A and B are shown apart, each in its own frame.
Chain A
Amino acid sequence: DSGVTQTPKHLITATGQRVTLRCSPRSGDLSVYWYQQSLDQGLQFLIQYYNGEERAKGNILERFSAQQFPDLHSELNLSSLELGDSALYFCASSVDGLEQETQYFGPGTRLLVL
């Protein structure tokens, strides 16, 4: 158990819909990362937040957005869902998102878009 929690565990939805994935970082961690893992793409970095502010952006689509709240939990919003958005979405946290830090991963949310 890494100390990072993610909800929900599984999500099944239809194309065109919008979903919100939630992540609570480890106690004391200020930085949160979101990743997408699909079968053909491997693990892709989406976005990083530090203490409520966006710090780094990866391969995140315009249909996706994220935020980190004052209590440091984060939400990833996926809208206008397409079949290809079906994937495992991981959240990770680290103390301050700076050098040589280990990221601790949550258990992931499995999204299936039908």
Chain B
Amino acid sequence: EDKVVQSPLSLVVHEGDTVTLNCSYEVTNFRSLLWYKQEKKAPTFLFMLTSSGIEKKSGRLSSILDKKELFSILNITATQTGDSAVYLCALNTDKLIFGTGTRLQVFP
């Protein structure tokens, strides 16, 4: 059965810290791995990763996929209170298979 596991479940840090969120998967075939940020309402798209070893970057956020070891990480540097959210990882097969998310809380 296809499975996506995110860790940690919850993370509390101070502003300025760097965090690494993990997404490991047991999915036989997928087209891409997606990261979303969910605040109070709908998830917003962050990254789509299709190739192993190529880092995608957007400001303080970056992400990379390792298809050999079956995981992806999302890094956030110099965290800000506005980064507080649930971060979701999803595998794109015929449908999206989501992990349960990592809740990040950033305190001033």
Contact = CB atoms under 8 A, between A and B. Distances in A.
Interface size class for chain A?
20 to 34
A56 B95 contact: yes
Instruction: Tell me if B's interface is mostly helix, strand, loop or mixed.
Output: strand
A105 B43 contact: yes
A77 B32 CA distance: 30
Instruction: Tell me if A's interface is mostly helix, strand, loop or mixed.
Output: strand
A64 interface: no
9 tightest CB-CB pairs across the interface, nearest first? A42-B100, A105-B42, A43-B98, A45-B95, A99-B31, A56-B94, A100-B31, A107-B41, A56-B95
14 contacts: A2-B44, A42-B100, A43-B88, A43-B90, A43-B98, A44-B98, A56-B94, A100-B31, A100-B48, A102-B45, A105-B36, A105-B42, A105-B44, A108-B41
